[in-house]
Structure 1
Amino acid sequence: MPRRKRTPWVPDSETELDGGLSFAHSPFHAHLLPEDAQVLEAGARLTEDSEVVADLADPLRGDRGSIALLLLLYVLQGIPLGLTGAVPMILSSRKVSYTEQAMFSFVYWPFSIKLLWAPIVDAAYFSSFGRRKSWLVPTQYLIGAFMLYLSGQVARLLGDDGSEAASIFTLTVVFFMLNFLAATQDIAVDGWALTMLSRRNVGYASTCNSVGQTAGYFLGNIVFLALESADFSNKFLRSTPTDTGLVTLGGFLWFWGIVFMVTTTLVWMLKPEKESQDDRGGDGIMATYKLLGDVVRLPSVQSYVITLITCKVGFAAADAVTGLKLIEAGVPKEKLALLGVPVVPLQIILPFVISKYVTRSQPLSFWLKAMPWRLLMGLIFAVLVYWTQQMHAVDGEFPLYYYAIILITYGLHQVALYIMFVAIMAFHAKVSDPAIGGTYMTLLNTVSNLGGNWPVTVALWFVDELTWKSCSADPKLACGEECAAGGGTCTTSVDGYYVESLVCVLLGFAWLLLRGGTVRKLQNLPMSAWKVA
């Protein structure tokens, strides 16, 4: 989100004056002799040095509560994201078409377009309520309200009550609004982290973001899918088997809706928001939008935006369709979700390991080197899906070595993905104009997210269009109810997933040939090419 440039340090009070280098020059001590002033200055420096020693001995002194609160807020932010990721898996078990899955994929877009309203969140607020709490409190209340409302409607929307088929359009609208609110909460929390933490610990904000969102997504996705599964609950959590899991989506939404309401009230009442120098005044909403326009008009930024918008086309089929195809082939969705558990430590460690190498040199060189690896993983995923379909597992039971192969394949894919991710983030940090770093970074990251979302939606949309099916009773009969009425069954002669996998990989390598040179040129541009005059 947009950040304002920090103003130079100036003392705010007599306490700061008496502890700073200007102590001997304050009017109160003008009558002191030079040797007296030197003694007092030495005492002041000794006080400062003792505080520095205390900070070194306990770096988190005074910030532990704020770090815990930030972790909680980012965990809450990850819950709706995890639930959003779980819904396509639930829909796939209800034989929802890939065209309908493409419609639902629009729910991910708010995090890719939040730059459109981030300046409003940054510049408009009630000073008496708090700059960040003005948005955080009502947004989290609305998220809780949406969850409570959805808890009573989700069974009908999914078609579980038997009254009608799944209402994909309504699900898309509701979850889009839920993610819109989560994206707005993200803007507010990111901004509050800069003033909630002391300057020496402000770097912990990104750690809280990464760890908190990962934990929230884990709870909302993997834990929910496991507890919602009757098979998992019967095998590991129950002594008497039943036909349902321990929780339902409605019950899970109700629980977290209450959690959002309670925690938001506690934050509102118990956590004061301290004012900072950055909160006084401001450039205003229109000035921030004008600044964004100036950045976008830079030739280097325009060329780089084209790169970000088009570079992920080659990964679309692998990222969007592979998991759904595995579930369609008989892999239980809860087991597929649980395979993500061993990968979580890898996702936390990889960025730290990779950053040591990527940030020391030209980041986009690493990005380009990892791209062919990730493209080829798309073909490996297609082979894995084909192998899964040929196994014809009984009651969803696959051998242990099968899951081991999936886990290894997914782990290799994550290595390539995180090399590209860390490299692109390092390049964004490198080229962003320090005077408007927050706005610049938000622009580039938002465009990068958008470049990943639109290929996913298109890939899901065209799976059905590229799939060829025929009716065994009469090829002239349309697959579906008409074929079933004629006593036939539909057989797939061409699966659109394999067509997309091949086309996407070819497009990805073609992109490398056409844009690789441009990417290298962008990397070698002088820093002045990225700055607004």
Structure 2
Amino acid sequence: MNSQQNRTSREPRRRQRKPDHSADTEEEDMPPRAMSTSLDSIQIHPRTPKTPRSQSRHAWSSEEGAADEVEMSLLQGDERREFADGLSVEEEQDYLSQPLKRPLSARDKRAIALLIILYLIQGFPLGLAMGSIPFILRDHLSYSELGTFSIAGWPYSLKLFWSPIVDSVFLPSLGRRKSWIIPMQLIIGTIMLGIAYNAEELMSNPGEHLYLLTMAFTSLVVFSATQDIAVDGWALTLLSEESLSYASTCQTIGLSTGSLLSHTVFLALNSEAFAQKWGIPRLTLSTYLKFCASFSFLVTIWLLFVKEDKELSGEDVSIKSVYTTMWTICKLRHIQILLLVHFFAKIGFQANDAVTQLKMVEKGLGKEDLAVAVLIDFPFQIFGGWLAGRLSRGPKPLNAWIYAYWPRLGLALVATLLVYWFPRPPISTAFFLLLIVQNVTQNFAGTIQFGGISAFHTRISDPVVGGTYMTLLNTFANMGGTWPKYFVLKGVDLFSVATCQIGDDLSVKATECVSEHGKAACTNLGGTCVTEQDGYYVVSAICLVLGFLSVVFYMIPTARKLQAMPISKWRVYG
């Protein structure tokens, strides 16, 4: 009853609003508003990936298009208006003008399958560079040296600087996005083959080849990041407007699957203990890299037969203009605020994300046990990606990101306590189950956050410069989890105090004791490494305190304000 009265009371005001072209208002810099008819229910939608700029400023040109629009806008109108109660006027108009949710079309299903496969290829090198390779190197390198190798992941967070080139330069005969995706995947496969044929030499003594390893995996990440720019932009036109929120689901499923194979599955199959236990051959790094390279080559051949729709014909722009557009985007006040949120949003989780699993393996958790824990977690990540896509549809996609913040921060604290109370091997079944529950719930919250923020990016991005706009936002989102990792790993060594105790009288301070290689060197001298202070707990405490304060006083309040802004204010072009 009350909602009906509220709707009735708002109707006169809605009908009275007329466009005023003569008023000199603060909205002079805003993009042109869409035209409206005398029927309140009929809305002319803002330009979408399927609607060129020229169409966004005029009514539909055919009676058939107008009839479809009337039918879609009037269907279930009361329910839509009831849901819109309580929103601001501009936010309500944005929501009411959106198409109703409909079942996925066959075209959307094919697009989703293609996007998942393309994101899967990105997950292969990223899972190696940011997952399994640091675990393998941990037996030979200190945390500071691992910090050096972690730089290999930085290009994925710095792709913004060359994304305008990817958005602007292409071969019309091949397609705007395929012009980049195809060569990048060929190069990724070739580099993987090169590393595969030299893997044994590089990994046998990684201390001597640290910079070569870092350079090789940095190159892999650079080309994967370039492929990601093109795929992000292609997603905006492959999917229909009402299914755009599933772009984040495709990314979550594809990247999670690729990373799982390269990190967890590879670590398990690479373990000699796992191979002996199950009576299977041990999977070497060389063999796995050859598999990844072959998969990348096969998908690339398949892409040659996939037709790419011509997007935004007549809207091609130069590299300079795209960089100018990127600068125009960055000058928007609300964009600057969003980028700042991204840059510091993951501080609270960094010690947990970068070091916790390494510490558990150091304390006796077998790599094969870790693999089992993450394998159990994988279905929950897939479900989390799907759920995030569902929760992020509608006018408030950031709610999923906001609601998952607290459990993720709390579970980071739980992980630190689990490391502190980690028992001596063998690990009991009860404690192992506790590790699994903690890992599953923590990653589930992270997946929900990732899906929510990705859906928000997709919703606000201007399709004319879709690759650049999406990459600008994703760059800072990724950078928020990349730049602190180097300092966290360095900080673990910095705050650690360890000595090599030789006999009863001689005790030598040895920072090398923080690595397995250093402990072995101390043992060769007849001594034992004694850790008097583990820097992990100091770094973890610093991250958790900073994360708590930022969440309470900045992150969540700012996210709510940004989400309440109408879509039109995020557009660069009208």
TM-score range, shorter chain: 0.7 to 0.9
Q: Which amino acid aligns with 1:493?
A: E
Determine the structure 2 residue equivalent to 1:170.
Answer: 212
Counterparts in 2 of 1:466 and 1:123: CA distance versus 1, 3 Å: same
State the partner residue of 1:472: 501
Listed one character per residue, the Cα deviations across residues 95-117 of structure 1 (whole Å, up to 9, x for unaligned) are: 31111111121222222122221
What TM-score comes out, normalization by structure 1 length?
0.78
Q: Residue type of the partner of 2:288?
A: F
Q: Of residues 336, 339, 342 in structure 2, which corresponds to 1:305?
A: 339
The secondary structure found in structure 2 opposite 1:273 is: coil
The residue that corresponds to 1:224 in the other structure is: 266
Tell me if the contact between 1:314 and 1:505 (Cα under 8 Å) persists in the aligned partners: yes
Conserved 8 A contact 1:133-1:273: no
Correspondent of 2:434 among 385, 405, 417 = 405
- Select which of 511, 520, 523 maps to 2:550: 511
1:392 pairs with 406, 417, 424, which one? Answer: 424
Equivalences for residues 314-353 of structure 1 within 5 A:
314-353=348-387
Shift of 1:405: 0.6
Corresponding position: 1:86 with 2:120 = no
Q: Report if the CA contact (8 A) 1:158-1:166 is conserved.
A: no
Change (3 A) 1:496 1:425: same
Aligned: 1:76 with 2:121: yes
Q: Is the 8 A contact 1:5 1:436 kept in 2?
A: no
Greater shift, 298-307 or 400-409, is seen at 298-307
Q: 1:398 to 1:279 in 2, by over 3 A?
A: farther
Confirm or deny that 1:234 pairs with 2:276. Answer: yes
Match of 1:246 in 2: 282
Displacement after TM superposition at 1:326 (Å): 0.6
Q: Runs of 5+ in structure 1 lacking a partner?
A: 11-16, 23-55, 239-244
Shift of 1:265: 3.6
| Contact residue 373 and residue 439 of structure 2 kept, 8 A | no
Give the aligned CA root-mean-square deviation in angstroms. 3.5
Return the TM-score normalized by structure 2.
Answer: 0.73
Question: Cα distance, 1:371 vs. partner?
Answer: 3.0
Match of 1:116 in 2: 161
Alignment check: 8 A CA contact 1:367 1:423 kept = yes
Q: Is the 8 A contact 2:496 2:535 kept in 1?
A: yes
Contact residue 159 and residue 166 of structure 1 kept, 8 A: no
Identity in percent: 37
How many angstroms apart in 2 are the aligned matches of 1:296 and 1:486? 57
CA contact (8 A) 2:157 2:475 kept: yes
Tell me, yes or no, if the aligned pair for 1:355 and 1:422 is still in contact at 8 Å.
Answer: yes
Q: Does the residue aligned with 2:181 lie in a helix, a strand or coil?
A: helix
Residues 187 and 376 of structure 1: CA distance in aligned 2, closer, same or farther (over 3 Å):
same
Counterpart secondary structure, 1:472: strand
Distance 1:188-1:445 versus aligned 2 partners, 3 A rule: closer
In structure 2, the residue matched to 1:448 is 477
Partner of 1:212: 254
Measure, in 1, the Cα distance between the counterparts of 2:104 and 2:386: 23
Q: C-alpha separation between the residues in 1 aligned to 2:444 and 2:551? A: 19
CA contact (8 A) 1:471 1:479 kept: no
What is the CA–CA distance in structure 2 between the aligned matches of 1:192 and 1:427, rounded to whole Å? 17
- 1:183 matches 2:236: no
Distance 1:432 1:141 in 2: 29
Kept in 2: contact 1:195–1:276 (CA 8 A) = no
CA change 1:190–1:223 in 2 (3 A) is same
In structure 1, what residue type is equivalent to 2:121? L
In the alignment, residue 265 of structure 2 is paired with which amino acid?
V
Give the aligned length. 474
- Report the counterpart of residue 140 of structure 1 in structure 2: 185
The answer to whether the aligner puts 1:130 opposite 2:175 as a matched pair is yes
1:154 matches 2:195: no
Give the counterpart of 1:489 among 522, 528, 536.
528
For residues 11-40 of structure 1, the C-alpha deviation after alignment (integer angstroms, 9 at most, x for no partner) is xxxxxx999789xxxxxxxxxxxxxxxxxx
Residue in structure 1 matching 2:327, options 293, 303, 313: 293
CA contact (8 A) 1:463 1:497 kept: yes
Q: Would the alpha carbon gap of residues 133 and 439 (structure 1) be closer, same or farther in structure 2, given more than 3 Å must change?
A: closer
Secondary structure of the residue aligned to 1:492 is strand
1:357 deviation in Å?
5.1
Return closer, same or farther for 1:177/1:401 CA change in 2, 3 Å cut-off.
same
2-structure distance, mates of 1:74, 1:151: 22
Could you say what secondary structure the match of 1:465 adopts? helix
